[in-house]
Structure 1
Amino acid sequence: MSPLLQHLPHRHVLTLPATPPAVRVARETAEQALAEWGVNPGHRAVAPALLILSELVTNSVRHASPLSEQVTVTYAVGDDCLAFAVHDRHPHRPRLNGAGTGGRRRGGLATVMELTGELGGTAVVRGDDDGRGKSIWVTLPL
C-alpha cells in the first residue's frame, strides 16, 4: 500500500473496462464516495478534482486500452487531503512536467497539471514494479 494511503482513512478502489463509459462511471463513483465521506461538494477542490479524474481516465481509455483492458481508479480522502490514482497496464509513462511547452499547454495532461498546480496539489507518475504499467497519482488539499 502507498504510504500516502496509510494516512487517509477513507479509500475505495474501482476497476473498469478501458472503454469510454469508464470515464462517466469513475466520475460518478468519485462523487458518490466523496459525499459518503462527508466532503462538501461545493468545496473549491471538488469540481476541479472531478475534471482531473475525468481527464486521466479518458487518457487511459484513449491511449492505453490496446495494451490495458482495464483501468483502476483509487480514491482516498483524509481530513485535509483528497488523493486519487488512475492505473493502467500500458508501459508509457507520460512526463507531467512537460505537458505543453513553450508557454502553450496542450491536451488533457496540461489541464491536469494546470488545475493541480492552481489548487496547490501534486501529481506524480509511479511505474509498476514490472515496468509494464503505471499510476498517475494526484493529491489535492482540502
Structure 2
Amino acid sequence: MTTQLEALPHRHVLTLPAVPGAVRVARQTAEQILLEWDIGLRHPTVDPALLILSELVTNSVRHAAVLSPRLTVFYAAGRDCLAFAVHDRHPYQPPLFGAVTGTGAGGLGTVMELVLGLGGTAVVRADADGKGKSVWITLPL
C-alpha cells in the first residue's frame, strides 16, 4: 500500500498527556471522527483499527512517558484508506516485524498480526533529531 498520506482528504491531530486515560480518549476520538468522515463503525476494518490504535497509545503511555509526557495521535483517511500514527518523544524504535516473528514484545505482535492480516502497512519513522518517533499504520478500507 503506497498511499501518500499528504493526499488523504481527511485529517485530525490530537495531543494528549501520556497517562492511561489517553487510550480511551484516543479511541473515542477515532470513533467520532470516523463517523464524521462517513466511515461506519461497523466497517470490517474499524474494530481492528481501534484495537491497533489502543495498543500503540498504551505502548507510548507505558514505555515512553518517562521521556515524553505528551503523545500525539494523527488520524487520516481517504475513500479507500485509513491511516493513523502515534508519536512520542522517546528515542527507542520498536522492531515491528520482530514482533511478528516472536522476538518482539506482546502488544506489538498483536498489532502486526492485525495490520498484515488486513493487508495494511506499518512503519516506524524517527524524528529528524532522533529523539522521538511515530508508528504509522495504513489500512485499506
Tell me which interval the TM-score lies in, with the shorter structure as reference length: over 0.9
1:35-54 map, 5 Å: 35-54=35-54
Over residues 69-101 of structure 1, what are the superposed CA-to-partner deviations in whole Å (9 max), with x where a residue is unaligned? 101000001000000000000000000010153
1:54-65 equivalences in 2 (<5 Å): 54-65=54-65
Q: What is the percentage of aligned positions where both structures have the same residue?
A: 70
Which consecutive unaligned segments of at least 5 residues does structure 2 have? none
Report the CA distance between 1:7 and its aligned residue.
1.2
Alignment match, 1:6: 6
Q: Deviations over 1:85-141 (max 9, x none)?
A: 000000000000101535x87511001000001100000000000000000000000
Superposition TM-score, scaled by structure 2 size: 0.95
Distance 1:72 1:105 in 2: 23
Specify the alignment match of 1:130 in structure 2: 129
1:83 alignment partner in structure 2: 83
1:27 corresponds in structure 2 to 27
What root-mean-square deviation, in Å, do the aligned CA atoms of Structure 1 and Structure 2 show? Answer: 1.4
Instruction: Tell me the secondary structure at the aligned position of residue 35 of structure 2.
Output: helix
* Cα 1:47–1:69 shift into 2, 3 Å: same
Q: Which runs of 5+ in 1 are unaligned?
A: none
3-state DSSP class of the match of 1:26?
Answer: helix
